[in-house]
Amino acid sequence: MTAIRHDGSRCGCIDNQCTIKDVVAFEWDDANRAHLARHRIKVAEAEEVFRNDPVIQGHDTVDAEDRWAALGAMLSLRVLVLIFTIRNDRIRVVTGWDADKRTQKTYFTQ
């Protein structure tokens, strides 16, 4: 599992690291549900990607908030890229999209 770095005071992780599986809850509201729906992604599909041990591809800071890119597959083998943050020990998916063919190939050959 790839670790993500953040302020350890938020979760008390040793060495200021957590894995995605350490965060078991999600934060959903009308805004992020609707945004994912525009990309034809259901809430259950996004959550499934996180349960299936996604690869963390990158980090950025947007409006003073840490955001990560997760690449992962569902049991149906649909591969999604999900941009997320962690708020109050919950994963909040900000946006997402289907991985392009090249990214899918890279994901399955790693």
Residue 25: count of CB within 10 angstroms of its CB: 9
pTM: 0.79
3-state DSSP: the chain helix, strand, coil percent, rounded to 5? 35, 40, 30
CA-CA distance, 57 to 61, in Å (whole number)? 14
User: pLDDT tens-digit profile of 50-109?
Assistant: 998 888 888 888 888 899 999 999 999 999 999 999 888 899 999 999 999 999 999 999
